Amino acid sequence: MTKILRIDSSIKTEGSISRQLTDDIMARVVAAHPDAEVTTRDLGANPLPVTDANWLVAVNTPADQRTPEQADIAALSDALIAELKAADVVVIGLPIYNFSLPSQLKSWLDQMARAGETFRYTEAGPEGLVKNTRAIVAYSSNGTRLGSDIDFASGYLRHMLGFFGITDMQVVASDHYAIDADSSLKSANDGIASLAA
């Protein structure tokens, strides 16, 4: 059974282009895998706590030595990591806020960036531990073109996913919506239509 993890990060619950695109991507992927098991994290509607000193201590304390509070803190991070590791496909909504990714999505990445869980250090350098997972990213922006000099989001997300071991990342983009909405959405829809389901 195919397992799909959907991550939405737009703070808009209505009128979000990235949510519309993740809906369309999900429809295509699920149509190809009708028995798929889908897990959804809506980071825009339900933001994760930011990582702080308490988080750092909690996740680096052996499980059998954690206080109840530390166990609760680590449990969320553990659950997020387990969702990602279990996924065959992860679909990520990436709206561009101020030329970068939403803080909600950054918090998700931070919660999972744990040595020994999603990566490890070796003599040859870091090695990602999340294997055989494909990422499909819905990039939406009013005018920050995908891959341009002012796009500080897509390259960072690609790097972080690769750091975790996810090197198969495809991006569909509606990246000039405020300039030409129809053309921008057509470009994204063409990209979705060309995805290998």
Annotated binding site for FMN: 10, 16-18
Domains of the chain, residue spans: 3-193
Q: According to the model, what pLDDT value does residue 197 have?
A: 64
Superfamily of domain 3-193: Flavodoxin domain (3.40.50.360)
Annotated binding site: 10, 16-18
Q: According to the model, what pLDDT value does residue 196 have?
A: 76
Q: According to the model, what pLDDT value does residue 1 have?
A: 84
For residues 143 and 145, what is the distance between their CA atoms, to the nearest angstrom? 6
pLDDT tens track for 37-78: 999 999 999 999 999 999 999 999 999 999 999 999 999 999
- For helices 103-112 and 154-164, give the axis angle rounded to 10 degrees: 20
Q: According to the model, what pLDDT value does residue 167 have?
A: 97
Residues of the chain with pLDDT under 50: none
Query: CA 150 → CA 42, 101, 140, distances in Å?
Result: 26, 12, 14
What's the pTM?
0.96
For residues 177 and 140, what is the distance between their CA atoms, to the nearest angstrom? 8
- Find out whether 19 and 12 touch, Cβ atoms under 8 Å: yes
